[in-house]
């Protein structure tokens, strides 16, 4: 039997960062005795765990500016491990009770399930599908600035897939709701998990039927159309707007559009 | 003000079917006074609602044989309405309590949200992304029969996307787990909502690196490879195996593969 194990060191919900710029790992001895542990997988022959934050821990669900800058410097493999651990531990922290009966739940199956101690119902981690879409009209790309985003920051529109919708229907509805235009020829490009809190980003391309926008002002501050040259310049850091960072799928989609 | 409204008639969680073979609609007067109502949308100028099943109602989560045969006869628009209503009402029935604090929740935002009466947390309907994949090897299509399925019934392998995975990673892991082989060149084909209870089926195609299977016997009874002619014959109802029905995305994926 091999007892080698390591536990991801967290600073609240944020990753602890070592002198080498990577994630920090402790041992099982570092975890509180009554801690709920999630099994993340094996790495270099060691079982890797993350600790569910204690009850009442403040846990902001979205990525904050400090995390955004950390994400830009973490290695891709460290970022994937941290993202998976954060999604999972955040889900546990928010599901200490059974939605069916209100009873207390406890961690099961190494952290990939919670079971109700009262009615026995099993609950599973949640992943929400979200569409994020390039919308093209006469060779220009439509990009938006959400309410509350910094001046000059633009990205692709995005929205949750609702119950009863296909991916293509969700793209159509979202663009119609936020920009007031219809799209056609929706095609899939790429996907990416996004752990704040736990989304599956589904990147698509589509063609708009018009550029006469009716902007939903409860969601979006501005929506503009940009030429290929403008998007290319923005990706290089000297365009007419600021792009999403390299580790966001929107950046990848914009690169795909420019290169195509 | 227009007070025109109609309420979907249900027989438990099953759709009530009229003499014309379509869904049956009643009025708001037919709903119990304390019923929780979900707004489904507008149809022919009337607001359409569905009633959340009363507490304690037995609600089998999977489609049963009677529902499968009903689904084959309902018109596509009726099927979409019923599917959306069932997903939503089933979610409400299973989320009467707050997963964060255990308090009672109540329906909000016309049925697209539940709010906790104790801690105020908002909860949203859940949609689980599931990959379903065509796996091809040397011109043959890999199809499986799940444990407990009728003898002779085969379909594409499928599995939930787990937290931290992309669509492509989920396809790879699922095929490796269930069939013991690796795949490459995963491409997206089509998606479909599936309301039992609430899934987003994401249909993909991939190429296997081998046909030397290691079958996961806790999940699958058999996995076989079939030629294009065999799949075409099966879709026409006279092949060496029984296909999924026309309204399932697996049927659509197999037709796509045969025609390509």
Give residues with Cβ within 8 angstroms of A181, minimum separation 6: A135, A175, A208, A209, A210, A211, A212, A213, A214
Helices (H), B12-148: 65-73, 76-93
Q: Which DSSP string do the residues of A193-227 spell out, in sequence order?
A: EETTTTEEEEEEEEEES-------TTTEEEEEEE-
Tokens of A20: 């080498």
Instruction: Map residue A254 onto helix, strand or coil.
Output: helix
Give residues with Cβ within 8 angstroms of A105, minimum separation 6: A95, A96, A97, A98, A114, A115, A116, A117, A123, B99
Interface of A with B (CB under 8 A): 80, 83-84, 87-88, 91, 94-105, 112, 123-129, 160-168, 188, 190-193, 195, 198, 200, 202
Give residues with Cβ within 8 angstroms of A182, minimum separation 6: A172, A175, A176, A208, A209, A210
- C-alpha B98/C-alpha B121 separation (Å) is 8
> If you search the block for the tokens 């609240």, which residue do you land on?
A12
- C-alpha distance from B70 to closest chain A C-alpha (Å): 18
Residue B231's closest CA among B159, B178, B133, B154? B154
- C-alpha distance from A238 to closest chain B C-alpha (Å): 31
- Give me the mean pLDDT over the B55-78 stretch: 72
- Burial bucket for residue A221 (CB in 10 Å: 0-12, 13-18, 19+): middle
Do residues B35 and B51 touch, judged by C-beta distance below 8 A?
A: yes
Confidence class of residue B57 from pLDDT cuts 50, 70 and 90?
A: low
- C-alpha distance from A28 to closest chain B C-alpha (Å): 23
> If you search the block for the tokens 């997903």, which residue do you land on?
B87
Residue A166 backbone dihedrals phi, psi, to 5 degrees:
-85, 170
* Cβ count near A33 (within 10 Å): 5
Report CB contact under 8 Å: A163, B125: yes
- Name every chain B residue with its beta carbon within 8 A of the beta carbon of A190: 166
- C-alpha distance from B55 to closest chain A C-alpha (Å): 10
- Name every chain A residue with its beta carbon within 8 A of the beta carbon of B89: none
Report CB contact under 8 Å: B165, A193: yes
Size of interface A-B (CB pairs under 8 A): 119
- C-alpha B145/C-alpha A150 separation (Å) is 53
- Name every chain B residue with its beta carbon within 8 A of the beta carbon of A193: 163-166
- Give me the mean pLDDT over the A36-57 stretch: 85
The pLDDT tens digits for A191-244 are 999 988 899 999 999 999 999 999 999 999 999 999 999 999 999 999 999 999
- Give me the mean pLDDT over the A76-104 stretch: 92
Tokens of A94: 């928010």
User: What pLDDT is attached to residue A247?
Assistant: 86
Which of B8, B163, B188, B190 would you mutate first to test chain A, the one with the most A CBs within 10 A? B163
- Name every chain A residue with its beta carbon within 8 A of the beta carbon of B103: 102
- Name every chain B residue with its beta carbon within 8 A of the beta carbon of A126: 126, 128
The pLDDT tens digits for A12-45 are 778 888 888 899 999 888 888 888 999 998 888 8
The pLDDT tens digits for A91-104 are 999 999 999 999 99
In chain A, the residue whose alpha carbon lies closest to the alpha carbon of B124 is A162
The pLDDT tens digits for B86-113 are 899 989 999 999 999 999 999 999 999 9
**For B128-259, CATH number?**
3.90.79.10
User: What pLDDT is attached to residue A61?
Assistant: 57
- All CATH 3.90.79.10 domain ranges in chain B, comma separated: 128-259
Task: Closest CB to A193: pick one of B97, B164, B191.
Answer: B164
- C-alpha distance from B67 to closest chain A C-alpha (Å): 17
Cα dihedral B88, B94, B99, B102 sign:
positive
Q: What is the mean pLDDT of chain A?
A: 91
């Amino acid at each position: 039997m091999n007892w080698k194990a390591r536990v991801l060191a967290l600073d609240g919900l944020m990753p602890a960062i070592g002198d080498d710029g990577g994630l920090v790992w402790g041992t099982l001895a570092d975890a509180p005795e009554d801690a709920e542990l999630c099994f993340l997988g094996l790495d270099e022959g060691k079982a890797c765990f993350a600790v569910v934050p204690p009850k009442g821990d403040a846990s902001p669900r979205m990525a904050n500016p400090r995390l955004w800058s950390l994400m830009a410097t973490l290695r891709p493999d460290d970022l994937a491990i941290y993202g998976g651990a954060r999604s999972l531990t955040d889900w546990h922290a928010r599901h200490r009770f059974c939605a069916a009966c209100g009873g207390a739940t406890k961690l099961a199956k190494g952290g990939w399930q919670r079971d109700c101690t009262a009615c026995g119902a099993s609950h599973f981690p949640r992943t929400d599908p979200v569409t994020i879409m390039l919308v093209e009209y006469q060779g220009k790309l439509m990009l938006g600035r959400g309410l509350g985003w910094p001046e000059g920051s633009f990205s692709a529109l995005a929205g949750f897939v609702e119950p009863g919708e296909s991916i293509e229907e969700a793209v159509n509805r979202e663009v119609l709701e936020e920009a007031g235009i219809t799209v056609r020829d929706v095609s899939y490009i790429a996907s990416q998990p996004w752990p704040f809190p736990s989304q599956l980003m589904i990147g698509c391309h589509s063609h708009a039927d018009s550029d006469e926008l009716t902007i939903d002002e409860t969601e979006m501050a501005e929506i503009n159309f940009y030429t290929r040259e403008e998007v290319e310049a923005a990706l290089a850091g000297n365009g007419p707007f600021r792009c999403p960072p390299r580790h966001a799928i929107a950046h990848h989609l914009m690169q795909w559009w420019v290169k195509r």
